[in-house]
Amino acid sequence: MSRKPIIAGNWKMHNTTKESVELTKGIIEGIKDLNKDSLPEIVIAPVFTSLCSVACELKECKEIALSSQNCYYEPKGAFTGEISLDMLKDLNVTNVIIGHSERRQYFKEDDEMINKKAIAILENGLTPIICCGETLEQREMGVTDSHVSSQIVKALENIEPSEIEKVVIAYEPIWAIGTGKTCDSQEANRVIKVIRNTIAQVAGNAVAEKVRILYGGSVKPSTIVEQMAQSDIDGALVGGASLKAEDFVEIIKGAM
């Protein structure tokens, strides 16, 4: 079963609109001479305030899809500070990152909320990129597998298998995020297989084989080739290294 790789850049809370547009231009320029047929799916996730301008920049570029870093699940109403899926679709956003560990940790998002967001994203015809991953403490306690499995089961509750096959999962061990300490590729692949088995239990083998599961956590141009060589790693969710066009383009090349 061949799954098309995805290289996604999560820009987190970085870049003014002008900087976001510059970075987008740099990535477009960097991929323009690459063989279009062997490119991975490329996704970039700027801050909300830059989405409109970046969408404009991507108008002529079919190779790069736009993602937001979050959304709210209600269609509209008195939810100060939140952004609905209709508002995102308005800007050609096609993917939404949900359940990032930073949102779980700093903004107290729980599995129930992440599940509601996943359902709403799919109902709106967009692709959720659902993040999961363990803390260093959980890893040392030996509960990594049960923790990520539980996060995935809860995120996918009440979603039909035919919809589950459209989701993208990102396994991001929290201790590897922004630390420069990349998770060993074989170990990342092992946990990703655990996640795939969990999806198989929830939605069947055929669906599990279709779901793209990315690795995230200090992905760099120097780590991507080995990561992509693993049987179950279908791409990367990149933080820091997605903020420099040259590095992000190198990572894209590593997935070709």
The site for ligand 13P (CB under 6 A) is made up of 10, 100, 172, 177-178, 216-219, 237-241
The CB-nearest residue to ligand 13P is 239
* Annotation says 22 is catalytic: no
**Closest CB 201 distance from ligand 13P, rounded Å:** 26
Output 159 or 177, the one with its CB closest to ligand 13P.
177
| Cβ-contact 168, 216 below 8 angstroms | no
Output 1 or 13, the one with its CB closest to ligand 13P.
13
* Annotation says 140 is catalytic: no
Which of these is catalytic: 41, 57, 100, 102?
100
SS (H, E, C) 79-116: CCCCCCHHHHHCCCEEEEEECCHHHHHHCCCCHHHHHH
DSSP3 helix / strand / coil % (the chain, rounded to 5): 45, 15, 40
Distance CA 121, CA 127 (A): 6
**β-bridge mates for residue 168, sequence order:** 129, 212
**Closest CB 251 distance from ligand 13P, rounded Å:** 10
| Cβ-contact 212, 235 below 8 angstroms | yes
**Closest CB 122 distance from ligand 13P, rounded Å:** 20
Output 44 or 122, the one with its CB closest to ligand 13P.
44
Written as six digits, the tokens of 116 are 């509601």
**Closest CB 12 distance from ligand 13P, rounded Å:** 7
Output 147 or 200, the one with its CB closest to ligand 13P.
147
**Residues annotated as catalytic (active site), given as ranges:** 100, 172
